[in-house]
Copies of this chain bind each other. A is one copy, B any other.
Amino acid sequence: MTTAVERAHVVRGVAQAARQASRSIAKSTPAQRTQALHAIADELVANAPAIRAANEADLARATDLAPAMRDRLTLTDASIGKLAAAVREIAAQPELLGRVEREETRPNGLVVQRVRIPLGVVLMIYEARPNVTVDAAALCLKSGNACILRGGREALESNRALLRAVQAGLSRAGLPAEAVQLVPTTDREAIAELVKLDELIDLCIPRGGEGLIRYVAEHARVPVIKHYKGVCHVYVHAAADLDAALAIVDNAKTSRPGVCNALETLLVDRTIAESFIPRLIARLGDRVELRGDDTALRLGVPRAATEEDWYAEYLDLILAIRVVDSLPDAVAHIEHYGSSHTESILTRDPAAAEDFVRSVDSSTVMINASTRFADGGELGLGAEIGISTTRLHAYGPMGAEGLTTTKFVVRGSGQIRS
């Protein structure tokens, strides 16, 4: 049993060590950080047997885990190899730190630059996915940050084994092991303690179920980047190519229904509803549970959608279907029920497409593409550390650059202000 005082002490110690280490990482050279990333990849592969053994211990304990969660927890030689490859890819991304984003010479001769720098200390809070341990460590290191990892109870042994590989890699590059730390306790109260340490931690990214994220948001004084859920919409416009629309809707709904960029509500323009919905039923009806409004029911959708369905993030093979009268109606539905994640319009009418793009203020707005592309890697950010549906700092998928900020550098020659 840990007492509250002991817990606060342990948690603060971790955060203080991270703050200290963040200064070393911020001052390290790009070559050192690249060397550390390659060393981490090497250590992961070399220690695969130990990592698998730890993971087997976690799996043996986790007898009551749902199959999907169990699947996410499992590490194999192949998945460890993929983790190592992802770390090498992050190492190969262009260097961010020190990049001059703007430069202007003022009338008084001052040269004003904005120069990219790390955030400092990043706290990742996540559930049963041990791969986040490695991804987050690598992205934080790439961007010059220290990180504190608070993984799920179910993955504790796996995370410890992965962390040993990460810290061995850091040491081989002459960087402090405290740049990546795992919180030693997995009780929720430790989270509440951590997210209050705003003088030691610069950003918290919670990833997992809505309950975990709300718990973090509730207790945080540290800035939090989060999304609660992804209720993604596809709007099949009057001028849509219906063949392409069927393929996109199928892909958006069924290619990986359990992820946040999967389609949840389909909006169908009334003008094409009679031709499209029966074809949709023919294509998806035996794989996906379809729930529709009155018009959709009349066109053959088997089950009625309730008000709750329009808010639902099913994360499952269920699709809500609503027939709308116009593009503004589709936008109004998204404004009311959406989650600011990702929405896509399918149309051959460029003016309608641009109208949709202007009118929808979600973090990712698409034209004629599957919502499943709302992902840092797919959108060209490299590996993704999270997705933000709040508008401060980052909005949408977030990669290494989202873990940095800029400072003003002002070069003068004796200027004083009048």
Contact = CB atoms under 8 A, between A and B. Distances in A.
Interface string A404-418: 011111111111111
Contact of A409 (B26, B365, B378, B410): B365
A221 interface: yes
Given A374-B408, A412-B369, A112 B417 contact: no
A380 to B, nearest CB: 5
Nearest to A365: B409
A251 B416 contact: yes
A235 to B, nearest CB: 14
A244 interface: yes
B416 A248 contact: yes
A368 interface: yes
A347 to B, nearest CB: 11
Interface string A387-418: 00011110111000000011111111111111
A359 interface: yes
Contact of A112 (B362, B379, B411): B379
Contacts of A294: none
A106 B380 contact: yes
Interface string A169-185: 00000000000000000
Nearest to A370: B416
Nearest to A417: B372
A408 B202 contact: no
A75 to B, nearest CB: 24
Q: Which of A23, A225, A391 has the most CB of B within 10 A?
A: A391
Given A369-B412, A408-B379, A391 B251 contact: no
Interface string A341-380: 0000000000001000111011111111110111000111
Contact of A397 (B104, B392, B408): B408
Interface string A327-350: 000000001000000000000000
A404 to B, nearest CB: 9
A117 interface: yes
Contact residues on A (Cβ < 8 Å of other chain), bracket: 35 or more
A241 interface: yes
A203 interface: yes
Contacts of A364: 407-410
Given A367-B412, A411-B367, A405 B392 contact: yes
B221 A223 contact: no
A392 B357 contact: no
Number of copies: 2
Nearest to A224: B223
Given A203-B391, A366-B410, A397-B408, 20 more contacts: A27-B358, A106-B379, A110-B369, A110-B373, A117-B361, A202-B392, A218-B221, A248-B414, A255-B418, A361-B407, A365-B408, A367-B409, A367-B410, A368-B411, A368-B413, A368-B415, A369-B410, A369-B415, A392-B405, A395-B405
Given A223-B392, A407-B396, A414 B241 contact: yes
Given A248-B414, A415-B369, A202 B407 contact: no
A247 interface: yes
Nearest to A97: B358
A267 interface: no
Given A367-B412, A380-B112, A392-B202, A417 B223 contact: no
Contacts of A202: 390-392
Contacts of A415: 368-370, 373
A202 B361 CA distance: 13
Nearest to A261: B417
Contacts of A198: 217
A241 B414 CA distance: 9
Interface in A111-129: 112, 115, 117, 119-120
Interface string A240-254: 010010011011100
A255 B417 contact: yes
A192 to B, nearest CB: 15
